[in-house]
Protein backbone atom coordinates (compact mmCIF):
# COMPACT_ATOMS: atom_id res chain seq x y z
CA UNK A 1 0.00 0.00 0.00
CA UNK A 2 1.17 3.50 -0.72
CA UNK A 3 2.10 5.74 2.18
CA UNK A 4 1.23 8.81 0.15
CA UNK A 5 -0.41 9.02 -3.22
CA UNK A 6 -1.57 11.70 -5.65
CA UNK A 7 -4.32 10.64 -8.03
CA UNK A 8 -4.79 12.73 -11.16
CA UNK A 9 -4.11 15.99 -9.34
CA UNK A 10 -4.36 19.24 -11.26
CA UNK A 11 -3.45 22.70 -10.00
CA UNK A 12 -3.47 26.00 -11.86
CA UNK A 13 -2.33 29.47 -10.94
CA UNK A 14 -4.31 31.84 -13.17
CA UNK A 15 -3.69 30.60 -16.71
CA UNK A 16 -0.63 28.58 -15.78
CA UNK A 17 -1.20 24.88 -15.26
CA UNK A 18 1.37 23.90 -12.63
CA UNK A 19 0.18 20.28 -12.34
CA UNK A 20 -1.65 18.48 -15.13
CA UNK A 21 -3.34 15.22 -14.03
CA UNK A 22 -0.34 13.97 -12.05
CA UNK A 23 -0.20 10.49 -10.50
CA UNK A 24 2.54 9.83 -7.93
CA UNK A 25 2.85 7.30 -5.15
CA UNK A 26 5.42 6.63 -2.47
CA UNK A 27 5.62 3.41 -0.48
CA UNK A 28 6.55 3.20 3.21
CA UNK A 29 10.32 3.64 3.55
CA UNK A 30 10.77 4.40 -0.14
CA UNK A 31 13.01 7.22 -1.37
CA UNK A 32 11.77 8.91 -4.53
CA UNK A 33 13.37 11.85 -6.33
CA UNK A 34 11.13 14.33 -8.15
CA UNK A 35 13.24 16.10 -10.75
CA UNK A 36 12.72 18.67 -13.46
CA UNK A 37 13.74 22.20 -14.41
CA UNK A 38 12.42 25.28 -12.55
CA UNK A 39 8.74 25.73 -13.31
CA UNK A 40 8.21 22.04 -14.10
CA UNK A 41 5.72 21.65 -11.21
CA UNK A 42 7.93 19.95 -8.59
CA UNK A 43 7.34 22.51 -5.83
CA UNK A 44 3.58 22.65 -6.46
CA UNK A 45 3.52 18.86 -6.20
CA UNK A 46 5.25 19.09 -2.81
CA UNK A 47 2.76 21.74 -1.60
CA UNK A 48 -0.19 19.53 -2.60
CA UNK A 49 1.26 16.30 -1.19
CA UNK A 50 2.10 17.91 2.14
CA UNK A 51 -1.37 19.45 2.43
CA UNK A 52 0.02 23.00 2.58
CA UNK A 53 -1.98 23.59 -0.58
CA UNK A 54 -4.87 21.60 -2.10
CA UNK A 55 -5.29 20.55 -5.73
CA UNK A 56 -8.06 22.01 -7.95
CA UNK A 57 -9.07 18.46 -8.85
CA UNK A 58 -7.86 14.95 -8.10
CA UNK A 59 -7.14 13.42 -4.71
CA UNK A 60 -4.28 13.13 -2.24
CA UNK A 61 -4.19 10.12 0.08
CA UNK A 62 -1.95 9.64 3.12
CA UNK A 63 -1.68 6.32 5.00
CA UNK A 64 -4.99 5.05 3.63
CA UNK A 65 -7.01 8.22 4.33
CA UNK A 66 -7.99 11.11 2.10
CA UNK A 67 -5.87 14.20 2.91
CA UNK A 68 -6.86 16.98 0.53
CA UNK A 69 -10.50 17.29 1.70
CA UNK A 70 -9.63 17.51 5.41
CA UNK A 71 -9.68 20.94 7.10
CA UNK A 72 -6.39 22.83 7.34
CA UNK A 73 -6.28 22.33 11.14
CA UNK A 74 -6.20 18.53 10.62
CA UNK A 75 -3.62 18.76 7.84
CA UNK A 76 -1.43 20.99 10.04
CA UNK A 77 -1.42 18.39 12.84
CA UNK A 78 -0.49 15.70 10.34
CA UNK A 79 2.37 17.83 9.02
CA UNK A 80 3.65 18.32 12.56
CA UNK A 81 3.46 14.67 13.58
CA UNK A 82 3.77 12.46 10.50
CA UNK A 83 5.73 14.59 8.05
CA UNK A 84 9.14 16.22 8.38
CA UNK A 85 10.22 19.02 6.09
CA UNK A 86 13.76 19.96 5.06
CA UNK A 87 14.14 23.05 2.88
CA UNK A 88 17.06 24.50 0.92
CA UNK A 89 18.16 27.04 3.53
CA UNK A 90 17.25 25.08 6.63
CA UNK A 91 14.76 27.73 7.75
CA UNK A 92 15.89 27.49 11.36
CA UNK A 93 14.46 30.01 13.84
CA UNK A 94 17.33 32.55 14.09
CA UNK A 95 16.68 33.52 17.74
CA UNK A 96 16.82 29.91 19.00
CA UNK A 97 19.89 27.75 19.61
CA UNK A 98 20.46 24.56 17.59
CA UNK A 99 19.05 22.47 20.48
CA UNK A 100 15.98 24.69 20.87
CA UNK A 101 15.32 24.54 17.11
CA UNK A 102 15.38 20.73 17.13
CA UNK A 103 13.25 20.52 20.31
CA UNK A 104 10.64 22.93 18.89
CA UNK A 105 8.41 20.41 17.03
CA UNK A 106 8.24 18.25 20.18
CA UNK A 107 7.37 21.25 22.39
CA UNK A 108 4.67 22.35 19.92
CA UNK A 109 3.27 18.83 20.17
CA UNK A 110 2.98 19.19 23.95
CA UNK A 111 6.12 17.32 25.06
CA UNK A 112 7.84 18.21 28.36
CA UNK A 113 10.84 20.51 28.03
CA UNK A 114 13.45 18.20 29.61
CA UNK A 115 12.47 15.25 27.41
CA UNK A 116 12.40 17.41 24.26
CA UNK A 117 15.84 18.88 24.99
CA UNK A 118 17.28 15.42 25.66
CA UNK A 119 15.85 14.06 22.38
CA UNK A 120 17.20 17.11 20.51
CA UNK A 121 20.68 16.54 21.97
CA UNK A 122 20.62 12.92 20.80
CA UNK A 123 19.69 13.91 17.25
CA UNK A 124 22.38 16.61 17.13
CA UNK A 125 24.90 14.02 18.30
CA UNK A 126 23.72 11.59 15.63
CA UNK A 127 24.30 14.14 12.87
CA UNK A 128 27.70 15.22 14.17
CA UNK A 129 26.69 18.72 15.35
CA UNK A 130 26.59 18.20 19.12
CA UNK A 131 29.49 20.65 19.50
CA UNK A 132 27.35 23.55 18.23
CA UNK A 133 24.23 22.66 20.25
CA UNK A 134 24.15 25.99 22.12
CA UNK A 135 24.95 28.21 19.15
CA UNK A 136 22.51 30.29 17.12
CA UNK A 137 21.90 29.37 13.44
CA UNK A 138 23.72 32.51 12.28
CA UNK A 139 26.93 31.23 13.88
CA UNK A 140 26.82 27.90 11.98
CA UNK A 141 28.15 26.95 8.54
CA UNK A 142 25.64 26.04 5.82
CA UNK A 143 26.37 22.33 6.22
CA UNK A 144 25.92 22.52 10.02
CA UNK A 145 22.63 24.40 9.60
CA UNK A 146 21.31 21.69 7.27
CA UNK A 147 22.31 18.97 9.76
CA UNK A 148 20.42 20.80 12.50
CA UNK A 149 17.43 21.20 10.15
CA UNK A 150 17.65 17.48 9.36
CA UNK A 151 17.61 16.67 13.09
CA UNK A 152 14.55 18.91 13.48
CA UNK A 153 12.80 17.14 10.56
CA UNK A 154 13.36 13.71 12.11
CA UNK A 155 12.91 14.41 15.83
CA UNK A 156 9.18 13.55 15.78
CA UNK A 157 9.90 10.20 14.01
CA UNK A 158 7.78 11.13 10.98
CA UNK A 159 6.81 8.46 8.45
CA UNK A 160 7.74 10.77 5.59
CA UNK A 161 10.22 13.57 4.93
CA UNK A 162 9.85 16.14 2.19
CA UNK A 163 13.29 17.41 1.26
CA UNK A 164 13.13 20.36 -1.15
CA UNK A 165 16.58 21.03 -2.70
CA UNK A 166 18.16 20.09 0.67
CA UNK A 167 21.69 20.59 -0.61
CA UNK A 168 20.95 23.46 -3.00
CA UNK A 169 22.84 26.05 -0.97
CA UNK A 170 25.85 23.83 -0.12
CA UNK A 171 29.10 23.06 -1.93
CA UNK A 172 29.32 19.55 -3.34
CA UNK A 173 31.36 18.07 -0.47
CA UNK A 174 29.10 19.32 2.36
CA UNK A 175 26.05 18.60 0.21
CA UNK A 176 27.14 15.01 -0.20
CA UNK A 177 27.76 14.59 3.50
CA UNK A 178 24.29 15.99 4.40
CA UNK A 179 22.70 13.68 1.81
CA UNK A 180 24.52 10.67 3.18
CA UNK A 181 23.45 11.53 6.72
CA UNK A 182 19.84 11.95 5.60
CA UNK A 183 19.78 8.70 3.61
CA UNK A 184 21.42 6.68 6.38
CA UNK A 185 18.91 7.98 8.97
CA UNK A 186 15.93 7.44 6.65
CA UNK A 187 16.99 3.86 5.78
CA UNK A 188 17.67 3.11 9.41
CA UNK A 189 14.31 4.43 10.67
CA UNK A 190 12.28 3.24 7.65
CA UNK A 191 11.28 6.85 6.89
CA UNK A 192 10.10 7.52 3.33
CA UNK A 193 11.71 10.50 1.59
CA UNK A 194 10.41 12.62 -1.24
CA UNK A 195 13.49 14.38 -2.56
CA UNK A 196 12.79 17.38 -4.77
CA UNK A 197 15.80 18.42 -6.82
CA UNK A 198 16.90 19.73 -10.20
CA UNK A 199 20.27 18.00 -9.73
CA UNK A 200 20.65 14.47 -11.17
CA UNK A 201 23.63 13.70 -8.91
CA UNK A 202 21.35 14.32 -5.88
CA UNK A 203 18.45 12.37 -7.44
CA UNK A 204 20.81 9.40 -7.82
CA UNK A 205 20.61 8.84 -4.03
CA UNK A 206 16.92 7.87 -4.40
CA UNK A 207 15.44 4.45 -5.24
CA UNK A 208 13.71 5.84 -8.31
CA UNK A 209 13.04 9.06 -10.17
CA UNK A 210 9.90 10.88 -11.29
CA UNK A 211 10.83 13.46 -13.93
CA UNK A 212 8.51 16.43 -14.54
CA UNK A 213 8.14 18.91 -17.34
CA UNK A 214 5.34 21.48 -17.82
CA UNK A 215 3.32 20.02 -14.96
CA UNK A 216 3.37 16.47 -16.32
CA UNK A 217 5.36 13.37 -15.49
CA UNK A 218 7.37 12.19 -18.48
CA UNK A 219 7.96 8.57 -19.36
CA UNK A 220 10.13 6.81 -21.88
CA UNK A 221 9.41 4.76 -25.00
CA UNK A 222 9.11 1.47 -23.12
CA UNK A 223 6.45 2.76 -20.71
CA UNK A 224 3.08 1.03 -21.23
CA UNK A 225 1.22 4.12 -20.02
CA UNK A 226 2.62 6.20 -22.87
CA UNK A 227 2.49 3.44 -25.46
CA UNK A 228 -1.30 3.30 -25.21
CA UNK A 229 -1.76 7.06 -25.01
CA UNK B 1 18.36 5.74 -43.18
CA UNK B 2 16.71 8.31 -40.97
CA UNK B 3 17.14 10.86 -43.73
CA UNK B 4 15.34 8.52 -46.16
CA UNK B 5 12.38 8.13 -43.80
CA UNK B 6 10.52 11.02 -45.42
CA UNK B 7 10.92 9.77 -49.00
CA UNK B 8 13.52 8.60 -51.53
CA UNK B 9 16.61 10.72 -52.11
CA UNK B 10 19.78 10.43 -54.15
CA UNK B 11 23.31 10.51 -52.82
CA UNK B 12 23.94 14.23 -53.25
CA UNK B 13 20.69 15.17 -51.47
CA UNK B 14 21.56 12.78 -48.64
CA UNK B 15 24.97 14.33 -48.13
CA UNK B 16 23.49 17.83 -48.08
CA UNK B 17 20.69 16.82 -45.67
CA UNK B 18 23.17 15.10 -43.38
CA UNK B 19 25.53 18.06 -43.23
CA UNK B 20 22.63 20.54 -42.70
CA UNK B 21 20.83 18.62 -40.01
CA UNK B 22 23.75 17.36 -38.00
CA UNK B 23 25.95 20.47 -38.10
CA UNK B 24 28.07 19.33 -35.17
CA UNK B 25 29.11 16.15 -36.97
CA UNK B 26 31.84 15.76 -39.55
CA UNK B 27 30.74 16.55 -43.14
CA UNK B 28 30.07 13.34 -45.04
CA UNK B 29 32.34 12.38 -47.96
CA UNK B 30 30.56 11.40 -51.19
CA UNK B 31 32.43 8.11 -51.28
CA UNK B 32 31.08 7.28 -47.84
CA UNK B 33 27.50 8.06 -48.92
CA UNK B 34 27.65 5.70 -51.91
CA UNK B 35 29.51 2.97 -50.04
CA UNK B 36 26.88 3.10 -47.28
CA UNK B 37 24.01 3.03 -49.77
CA UNK B 38 25.57 0.01 -51.53
CA UNK B 39 25.91 -1.82 -48.21
CA UNK B 40 22.34 -0.99 -47.16
CA UNK B 41 21.05 -2.15 -50.58
CA UNK B 42 23.00 -5.40 -50.29
CA UNK B 43 21.39 -5.98 -46.87
CA UNK B 44 17.90 -5.26 -48.21
CA UNK B 45 17.40 -2.12 -46.09
CA UNK B 46 17.19 0.33 -49.02
CA UNK B 47 16.30 -0.14 -52.67
CA UNK B 48 17.01 2.00 -55.73
CA UNK B 49 13.75 3.51 -56.89
CA UNK B 50 14.81 5.10 -60.18
CA UNK B 51 17.22 7.49 -61.77
CA UNK B 52 16.88 11.04 -63.02
CA UNK B 53 19.17 12.92 -65.30
CA UNK B 54 17.85 16.47 -64.94
CA UNK B 55 20.53 18.31 -66.93
CA UNK B 56 23.47 16.54 -65.32
CA UNK B 57 24.94 13.13 -64.70
CA UNK B 58 22.47 10.33 -64.00
CA UNK B 59 21.57 10.08 -60.31
CA UNK B 60 19.99 7.07 -58.62
CA UNK B 61 17.44 7.65 -55.86
CA UNK B 62 17.15 5.28 -52.94
CA UNK B 63 14.19 4.59 -50.67
CA UNK B 64 13.71 2.61 -47.46
CA UNK B 65 12.33 -0.93 -47.72
CA UNK B 66 9.88 -2.25 -45.09
CA UNK B 67 12.78 -4.12 -43.52
CA UNK B 68 14.78 -0.88 -43.48
CA UNK B 69 11.94 1.05 -41.86
CA UNK B 70 11.58 -1.61 -39.16
CA UNK B 71 15.30 -1.66 -38.54
CA UNK B 72 15.33 2.15 -38.24
CA UNK B 73 12.56 2.09 -35.62
CA UNK B 74 14.32 -0.63 -33.66
CA UNK B 75 17.47 1.52 -33.54
CA UNK B 76 15.42 4.52 -32.49
CA UNK B 77 13.77 2.66 -29.63
CA UNK B 78 17.00 1.30 -28.20
CA UNK B 79 18.79 3.45 -25.63
CA UNK B 80 22.53 3.81 -25.66
CA UNK B 81 24.43 2.08 -22.86
CA UNK B 82 25.03 4.95 -20.43
CA UNK B 83 28.65 5.98 -20.85
CA UNK B 84 30.29 9.38 -21.27
CA UNK B 85 30.61 11.16 -24.65
CA UNK B 86 27.46 9.95 -26.41
CA UNK B 87 26.52 13.43 -27.64
CA UNK B 88 26.71 12.65 -31.35
CA UNK B 89 24.64 9.49 -31.38
CA UNK B 90 22.04 10.85 -28.94
CA UNK B 91 21.56 13.97 -31.05
CA UNK B 92 21.31 11.84 -34.20
CA UNK B 93 18.51 9.84 -32.57
CA UNK B 94 16.61 13.00 -31.67
CA UNK B 95 16.88 14.27 -35.26
CA UNK B 96 15.87 10.92 -36.74
CA UNK B 97 12.96 10.60 -34.27
CA UNK B 98 11.68 13.97 -35.51
CA UNK B 99 12.15 12.97 -39.17
CA UNK B 100 10.83 9.42 -38.95
CA UNK B 101 8.19 9.91 -36.25
CA UNK B 102 7.16 13.03 -34.29
CA UNK B 103 8.10 15.37 -31.40
CA UNK B 104 6.54 13.06 -28.78
CA UNK B 105 8.72 10.17 -29.96
CA UNK B 106 11.79 12.42 -29.74
CA UNK B 107 10.83 13.49 -26.20
CA UNK B 108 10.14 9.91 -25.14
CA UNK B 109 13.45 8.73 -26.63
CA UNK B 110 15.22 11.38 -24.52
CA UNK B 111 13.27 10.25 -21.46
CA UNK B 112 14.19 6.58 -22.08
CA UNK B 113 17.82 7.62 -22.36
CA UNK B 114 17.46 9.65 -19.15
CA UNK B 115 16.05 6.59 -17.34
CA UNK B 116 19.03 4.49 -18.49
CA UNK B 117 21.51 7.18 -17.44
CA UNK B 118 19.80 7.62 -14.06
CA UNK B 119 19.85 3.88 -13.39
CA UNK B 120 23.61 3.89 -14.00
CA UNK B 121 24.04 7.00 -11.81
CA UNK B 122 22.19 5.26 -8.96
CA UNK B 123 24.51 2.24 -9.26
CA UNK B 124 27.60 4.44 -9.22
CA UNK B 125 26.30 6.52 -6.30
CA UNK B 126 25.67 3.38 -4.29
CA UNK B 127 29.07 2.04 -5.27
CA UNK B 128 30.67 5.30 -4.16
CA UNK B 129 28.96 5.15 -0.75
CA UNK B 130 30.42 1.69 -0.22
CA UNK B 131 33.83 2.56 -1.67
CA UNK B 132 36.71 1.37 0.47
CA UNK B 133 39.29 3.72 -1.02
CA UNK B 134 39.42 7.36 -2.10
CA UNK B 135 40.57 6.21 -5.56
CA UNK B 136 37.44 4.12 -5.99
CA UNK B 137 35.25 7.06 -4.96
CA UNK B 138 37.14 9.46 -7.25
CA UNK B 139 36.75 7.09 -10.17
CA UNK B 140 32.98 6.85 -9.59
CA UNK B 141 32.83 10.66 -9.27
CA UNK B 142 34.42 11.04 -12.70
CA UNK B 143 31.81 8.90 -14.45
CA UNK B 144 28.97 10.47 -12.44
CA UNK B 145 30.10 13.97 -13.49
CA UNK B 146 30.17 12.99 -17.17
CA UNK B 147 26.79 11.25 -17.05
CA UNK B 148 25.45 14.38 -15.32
CA UNK B 149 26.69 16.50 -18.23
CA UNK B 150 24.81 14.22 -20.65
CA UNK B 151 21.68 14.46 -18.49
CA UNK B 152 21.86 18.27 -18.53
CA UNK B 153 22.13 18.16 -22.31
CA UNK B 154 19.10 15.83 -22.52
CA UNK B 155 17.04 18.17 -20.32
CA UNK B 156 17.99 21.22 -22.40
CA UNK B 157 17.24 19.33 -25.60
CA UNK B 158 13.82 18.27 -24.23
CA UNK B 159 13.11 21.96 -23.70
CA UNK B 160 14.15 22.55 -27.34
CA UNK B 161 12.18 19.70 -28.92
CA UNK B 162 9.50 21.96 -30.39
CA UNK B 163 12.04 24.40 -31.85
CA UNK B 164 14.08 21.52 -33.30
CA UNK B 165 10.95 19.96 -34.76
CA UNK B 166 10.11 23.26 -36.44
CA UNK B 167 13.65 23.58 -37.85
CA UNK B 168 13.98 20.02 -39.04
CA UNK B 169 10.54 19.26 -40.40
CA UNK B 170 9.16 22.77 -40.91
For residues B44 and B93, state if they share a domain: no
- Domain count across chain B: 2
Q: Is residue B13 part of a domain?
A: yes
Which residue in A has a C-alpha nearest to residue B106's C-alpha? A221
Residues B54 and B92 in one domain: no
Boundary of a domain, candidates B38, B65, B92: B65
**CA atoms of B138 and B131, how far apart (whole Å):** 9
A7, A59 Cβ separation under 8 angstroms: yes
Structural domain span for residue B2: 1-65
* B71 in any annotated domain: no
**Domain shared by B166 and B129, yes or no:** yes
Helix (H, G, I), strand (E, B) or coil at A34: strand
Query: Do B36 and B115 have their domain in common?
Result: no
Q: What CATH number does residue B1 fall under?
A: 1.10.10.10
| B73 part of a folded domain | no
C-alpha–C-alpha distance, residues A18 and A44, integer Å: 7
The reported pTM is 0.81
DSSP assignment of B102-163 equals: -HHHHHHHHHHHHHHHHHHHHHHHHHHHT-SSHHHHHHHHHHHHHHHHHHHHHHHHHHTHHH
With respect to residue B10, please indicate whether it lies within any of the assigned structural domains: yes
Helix (H, G, I), strand (E, B), or coil: what is residue A205?
Answer: coil
User: Per residue in B34-53, is it b (16+ CB within 10 Å) or e — as a string?
Assistant: eeebeebbeeebbeeeeeee
Q: Does B164 map to a domain?
A: yes
Boundary residue ending a domain (B19, B43, B65): B65
- In-domain check, residue B72: no
Both B48 and B82 in one domain: the answer is: no
Q: Are residues B90 and B151 in the same domain?
A: yes
Q: Is the model more confident about A170 or about A28?
A: A28
State the complex-level ipTM: 0.85
- State whether B16 and B83 are in the same domain: no
Write the CB contacts of A175 (distance below 8 Å, at least 6 apart in sequence).
A143, A167, A202
Domain shared by B97 and B134, yes or no:
yes
Shared domain for B100 and B158, answered yes or no, is yes
Given a cut of 70, the residues of chain B with pLDDT beneath it are 23-25, 53-57, 84-86
Residue A229 has pLDDT above 80, yes or no: no
CA–CA separation, B89 vs B21, rounded Å?
13
User: Are residues B85 and B24 part of one domain?
Assistant: no
Domain boundary among B17, B43, B65: B65
> Residue B156 domain-assigned?
yes
Q: What is the pLDDT of residue A227?
A: 36
Query: How far apart are the CA of A184 and the nearest CA of chain B, in angstroms?
Result: 10
Query: Are residues B53 and B98 located together in one domain of the fold?
Result: no
Q: Please check whether residues B40 and B97 belong to one and the same domain.
A: no
In this complex, do A200 and B121 lie within 8 Å of one another by their Cβ atoms?
yes
- Give the pLDDT confidence of B56-81 residue by residue, as tens digits: 667 889 999 999 999 988 888 888 88
Choose the mutation target among B111, B114, B116, B152 for the interface with A, i.e. most A CBs under 10 Å: B111
Q: Would the CB atoms of A211 and B114 count as touching at under 8 Å?
A: yes
Instruction: Work out the number of other CB atoms within 10 angstroms of the CB of residue B151.
Output: 23
Residue B2: closest CA among B106, B73, B89, B108: B73
Instruction: Quickly count: other Cβ atoms within 10 Å of residue A89's Cβ.
Output: 14
Amino acid sequence: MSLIEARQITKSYGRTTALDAVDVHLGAGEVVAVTGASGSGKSTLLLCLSGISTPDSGEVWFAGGRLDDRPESVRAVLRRTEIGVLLQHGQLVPELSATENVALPLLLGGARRTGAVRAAAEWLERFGVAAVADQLPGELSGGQQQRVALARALVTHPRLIFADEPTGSLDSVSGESVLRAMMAAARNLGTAVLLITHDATVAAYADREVHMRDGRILSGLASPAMATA
Amino acid sequence: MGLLSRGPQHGYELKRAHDDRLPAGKPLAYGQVYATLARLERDGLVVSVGADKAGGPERTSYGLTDVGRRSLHEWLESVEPPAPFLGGVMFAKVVVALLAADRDTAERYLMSQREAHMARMRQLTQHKQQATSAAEAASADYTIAHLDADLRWMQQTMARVDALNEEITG
